[in-house]
Amino acid sequence: MPKKTKESLRSARWFAPDDLRSFGHRSRAMQMGYGPEDWAGKPVIAIINTWSDINPCHTHFKQRVEDVKRGIFQAGGFPLELPAISLAEQYVKPTTMLYRNMLAMETEELIRSHPVDGAVLMGGCDKTTPGLVMGALSAGLPFVYLPAGPMLRGNWKGKVLGSGSDAWKYWDERRAGKLSEAQWLEVEGGIARSHGTCMTMGTAATMMGIAEVLGLTLSGASSIPAADASHPRMAAACGRRIVEMVWEDLTPAKVLNKTSFLNAINAAMAMGCSTNAIIHLIAMSRRAGAACTVTLDDFDSASRKVPVIANIRPSGDQYLMEDFYYAGGMPALLKQMGSHLNPSAMTITGKTIGENIQDAQVHNEDVIRPLNKAIYQEGALAVLKGNIAPGGAVIKPSACAEKFLKHTGPALVFDSYPEMKKAVEDENLDVTENHILVLRNAGPKGGPGMPEWGMLPIPVKLVKQGVRDMLRLSDARMSGTSYGACILHASPEAYIGGPLALVKTGDLITVDVPNRKIHLEISDEELNQRKAKWVAPAPKYERGYGWMFSRHILQAEDGCDFDFLETSFGKPVPEPDI
């Protein structure tokens, strides 16, 4: 039974009344060539499109939006494309994370301020998934998430190349003098050879997958390669489904609950997810309301139970997202998770996630492993705590050398990214592979925006000796396609006087991943003395967006949302007066 009637559509408030204001809305729609048969009694669907000329991951959105519109028309809706900031991961500086919340604000207000009844969100490149979803959750209208999908496998001289992961790897070869300029150019041309997002299990693939597990996409949508013909068909299906959802009044509040988020955390572990997933999932859960909120502890307890079964780089050694799709994609992974997935969670299909994946099959058990043949028995992430990071820090043990899981070594501290960048190229740097490289002032306020600087380069002196991994510690994030013994998100960050600000070069730091500890080997008295002498750095911004960002950004363990955007902050925003 439809729960919405033509009269009760939200858009009818703009288009239906016999008054002067609505005359304006209708006559201006007619100015664009539409007539009453386009809008009268029809769900109006916003298509929030994050296409731009400089976002290679979303190149196909210029065409895909037409497929979404086709689906909306087929189902008797009225599509309106509303473009939003694109957040191209590779180009936006200092980091797209500075603007994730801007996209969230833009999405929420685009939906709220326009005459729309529901939305299709088009995103995929790293921060676009959480940004769009956070905003749409706060707006509260029915929505479908359309994932951009991963690009095809990279290729260089017959070798498979993975986004990010192989860039770092071959860059080290180049720095070691083993790749010529011509070869390097070939790698540049071969590593990204179709539209779509990074095709390793980086932040993009992780977050698109998480959107699916949360029940916010059509089943199977997140694994379809961008260049596959299934992708435009899926886009049209999103258009058809959102129109039905408006009639059903299937709002996100009716889809999401705590189970959805716990499923998403478990699936993230099974995927061998990007560390960024932690921050984004916490932020999204807090937008979904107090009953849905997840914390760092939920990640740590999931990571102790759920094995990594997606054999995708960088946690896996061989395969990429294209292989994942051919192996059955996300529905097959969810099926393979067995009791680690709660099948009762609702989804935007109107069915539970268990019903959605009922017929899913794994076509290649080397890519999507059975639980008893996991590629990594304990989960993808570990949350470390101790005197140097009382608010927590994060490591991805599945992507680092085992000898670093328990290690004590002297700190080599850098106060800024430029300082670190210069030092690691110094052939005479006083460093051994036992050192722990520390980068600070790279957190949410200090970076600003917590740039992906956490995979500090191995000093060139050590690279030439054959060293390819060492312990690194920072309040930054790292790319989901990165790997290595990198401890990230140390909180509270150094820039606001967190203990990371008090470490000195030569101090011993102990890392103990099995026991989830990280400890600076100095006494509490010494730590307090250093704290008393600490001087806060000058503010980075005196005006503009950065000024607002610095005042309102939350720390990593709270999801880096703006405090005033959280659901718990103040009374709900009213509907606009018309």
Which two tokens mark 10? Answer: 């939200």
The amino acid at residue 339 is S
Contacted entry of ligand FES, Mg ion, none for residue 553, CB cut-off 5 to 8 Å set by kind: none
- Strand bridging mode 389-395 / 382-386: antiparallel
Question: What whole-number distance in Å separates Cα of residue 334 and Cα of residue 342?
Answer: 10
Which two tokens mark 254? Answer: 């009716």
Find the shortest distance in angstroms from Cβ 193 to Mg ion.
18
Pick the stretch among 197-205, 237-245, 344-352, 463-471 that binds ligand FES (CB under 6 A).
197-205
Q: Which string of x and - marks every residue 358-377 that binds ligand FES (by CB under 6 A)? A: --------------------
Exactly one of 46, 57, 234, 488 binds ligand FES (CB under 6 A); that residue is 57
Q: How many residues does the chain have?
A: 578
- Cα angle value 381/382/387 (rounded, 5°): 145
Pick the stretch among 63-71, 194-202, 310-318, 357-365 that binds ligand FES (CB under 6 A).
194-202
First to last CA, the chain: 29
Contacted entry of Mg ion, ligand FES, none for residue 67, CB cut-off 5 to 8 Å set by kind: none
Exactly one of 9, 85, 133, 204 binds ligand FES (CB under 6 A); that residue is 204
Q: What is the CA radius of gyration of the chain?
A: 24
Q: Which string of x and - marks every residue 120-139 that binds ligand FES (by CB under 6 A)? A: -----xx-------------
Contacted entry of ligand FES, Mg ion, none for residue 296, CB cut-off 5 to 8 Å set by kind: none
CA torsion, points 197, 443, 283, 308, in degrees to nearest 10?
Answer: 60
Indicate the SS3 state at residue 182: helix
Find the shortest distance in angstroms from Cβ 481 to ligand FES.
7
Nearer to ligand FES, 88 or 105 (CB): 88
For residue 270, the surrounding DSSP H or E stretch is helix 258-271
Find the shortest distance in angstroms from Cβ 258 to ligand FES.
29
Name the residue with the smallest CB distance to Mg ion: 479
List residues near Mg ion by CB under 5 A. Answer: 126, 202-203, 479
Which residue, 74, 356, 119, is CA-closest to 236?
74
Find the shortest distance in angstroms from Cβ 58 to ligand FES.
8
Query: Phi and psi at residue 543, in whole multiples of 5°?
Result: -155, 175
Pick the stretch among 169-177, 198-206, 240-248, 562-570 that binds ligand FES (CB under 6 A).
198-206
Q: Is 89 in the site for ligand FES (CB under 6 A)?
A: yes
Q: Is 90 in the site for ligand FES (CB under 6 A)?
A: yes
Neighbours of 91 (CB within 10 A): 12
Question: What whole-number distance in Å separates Cα of residue 129 and Cα of residue 147?
Answer: 8
Pick the stretch among 40-48, 196-204, 371-379, 526-534 that binds ligand FES (CB under 6 A).
196-204
Identify the burial level of 578 via C-beta atoms within 10 angstroms of its C-beta, where 0-12 means exposed, 13-18 middle and 19 or more buried.
Answer: exposed
Which two tokens mark 93? Answer: 């500086």
Report CA-CA distances (Å) from 279 to 207, 212, 475. 11, 17, 13
Find the shortest distance in angstroms from Cβ 164 to ligand FES.
7
Neighbours of 6 (CB within 10 A): 13
Q: Is 198 in the site for ligand FES (CB under 6 A)?
A: yes
Nearer to Mg ion, 369 or 477 (CB): 477
364 in Cβ contact with 474 (< 8 Å): no
Contacted entry of Mg ion, ligand FES, none for residue 269, CB cut-off 5 to 8 Å set by kind: none
Which residue, 378, 316, 307, is CA-closest to 338?
307
Contacted entry of Mg ion, ligand FES, none for residue 303, CB cut-off 5 to 8 Å set by kind: none
Nearer to Mg ion, 49 or 96 (CB): 96
Find the shortest distance in angstroms from Cβ 480 to Mg ion.
5
Find the shortest distance in angstroms from Cβ 458 to ligand FES.
23
Which two tokens mark 528? Answer: 């307090």
Contacted entry of ligand FES, Mg ion, none for residue 449, CB cut-off 5 to 8 Å set by kind: none
Which residue, 504, 505, 428, is CA-closest to 462?
428
Contacted entry of ligand FES, Mg ion, none for residue 191, CB cut-off 5 to 8 Å set by kind: none
Q: Is 197 in the site for ligand FES (CB under 6 A)?
A: yes
Nearer to ligand FES, 142 or 162 (CB): 162
Neighbours of 193 (CB within 10 A): 15
Find the shortest distance in angstroms from Cβ 573 to ligand FES.
31
Find the shortest distance in angstroms from Cβ 236 to ligand FES.
23
Which two tokens mark 143? Answer: 């929505």
Find the shortest distance in angstroms from Cβ 167 to ligand FES.
11
Interaction with ligand FES in 229-248: which residues (CB under 6 A)? none
Nearer to Mg ion, 203 or 347 (CB): 203
For residue 329, the surrounding DSSP H or E stretch is helix 329-336
Interior/surface letters 100-118, b for 16+ CB within 10 angstroms, e for the rest: bbbbbbbbbbbbbebbbbb
Neighbours of 227 (CB within 10 A): 16
Find the shortest distance in angstroms from Cβ 198 to ligand FES.
3
Which two tokens mark 495? Answer: 């820039």
Q: Is 558 in the site for ligand FES (CB under 6 A)?
A: no
Find the shortest distance in angstroms from Cβ 196 to ligand FES.
8
Contacted entry of ligand FES, Mg ion, none for residue 125, CB cut-off 5 to 8 Å set by kind: ligand FES
Residues in contact with ligand FES by CB under 6 A are: 57, 89-90, 125-126, 163, 197-198, 202, 204
